[in-house]
Structure 1
Amino acid sequence: MSRKRLWLLAGLALLLAACGGGAPPQDLTLSGVSPNSPTVAQGGNVALTLTLASQNGFQGQVSLSVTENGQTPSWLSLSPTSTTLNVPKGGQAQVGLQVQVAGNAPTGAHALKLRVAYAGKAAERDLTLTVSAPSGGGGGGGTAGTTWTVRNLGNYLSGVAYGNGTFVAVGYNGTILTSPDGAAWTARTSGTSHNLSGVAYGNGTFVAVGYNGTILTSPDGAAWTARTSGTTRHLSGVAYGNGTFVAVGYNYTILTSP
């Protein structure tokens, strides 16, 4: 091959490199989140719509995540956590994202960062999520507490609490019932035959108290564990506040945890 031809090929290679030499790299931009400042109750969820844009076009799988102050919040989960996108060149695509908040999520405004990762790169966008305490009426609207419907289950009940999206009712002979809406109830195994007098929810835990110093705990209202109270006196009520459970009972009994 002549020297002149070699110089010609080298020049052509340089020209192709200068012009890009091939297809442009795929890119993604997280151009929008709706709603951008949602509010959700503890134990609830909210649906978001993510809008992704691409200048050069994108086709492939992405992973979805969220952080707060650079850390993954333990009280929040996403669904889905990955999806496949097909964004045309200069176009957009939308992705539905469900955000689930735990029943013990810290209340208040949270400055979050949504992240869409792909091929070693990432598109990010800020999101302000406000977590509120659940309403006592379970979302019954303006008539909650003013109009009532009898739900006769044939059980002697003495206490009820709400938390983590669940109502828990307790009563005689170790009765425990749970319901997602207050209308349809499911009987649960408490592991005790003692009468239960009260129940409370806090810090991600249900606590039920009753006769003979009975104390039971549960993370979800379905599975219960007996705890040692240190007393055989009847316990008649329990409440949660400021990081502490307080139980009261006969003969001036007061118990605290922790």
Structure 2
Amino acid sequence: MMKEGDTMYPYMFGIEGFETYYVLIIIGVFFSLAAFRMVMKYYKVEVDVYEFYLKLILVSMVVGFIFAFLFQQLYNLIDALEKGREYQAQGMTLMGGVVGGITVWLIGSKFFAPEKAKAKFFHVTNVAIFSVMIGQTFGRIGCVMAGCCFGIDTDEWYGMTFHTHDHAVVPTQLFEAIFVGLLVLVGIYLIRKMKINYMVFLYFIAYPIFRFFIEYFRGDERGTFLPLFSPSQWQSVGMFAVATLLLVRYIKNPFDTRFKGFDLAENN
């Protein structure tokens, strides 16, 4: 078991106020956008198509952060009303950010994309998902440093003591960083093997399953939405269901033009 003070660096260079969490978020955004450009260039996507989707992914990121905050405030408010305590405007939820980002991505692609960009929507979306996984990995490492999104108390060897605690807890944020990081490695393999169109299925099926079960080990207060499951578990169920239906449709008709992938003839 790791001891207090050995498991996190909430402030960069020990400078209070210079929070490692936000630094890692910025680094994650940078590498996400860099990966997006590299993969689009690797598949020889036209410049105008790339530029449209680059703008769209930036807008989706901004709206995603806003939704991450707003969704958490909704859960906090419901929880405060149910338990008769004071509402506090704090925290963000990743799943709310995913919902917001996807919504903007779909609306922008449907109503604002030029025809050439619309024709490449599905496989560009796969590239965008790969970029999201990179950003999420850095974000969860930021959570480890900040000591947020922690798990339940534990005496096991893998327990970590954050600056917010005087005892060890399950490092759920670290487990998620490792899991999504492994998805990134799988994504790199898919890109190199010219199977980019599996990225959407990889993320929206594998991650909801992981998130659903890791939620049982979360120990932080995240508010209430519907009974039985946590808000993130309900969202995971929805994401998994939609992705599974899409996968079934893809398997039944892989030659549907809406699922058409990149022209890989010039790549090895």
Normalising by structure 1, what TM-score? Answer: 0.22
The structure in which a higher percent of residues are helix is: 2
Look at both structures and tell me which one has the larger radius of gyration over its CA atoms: 1
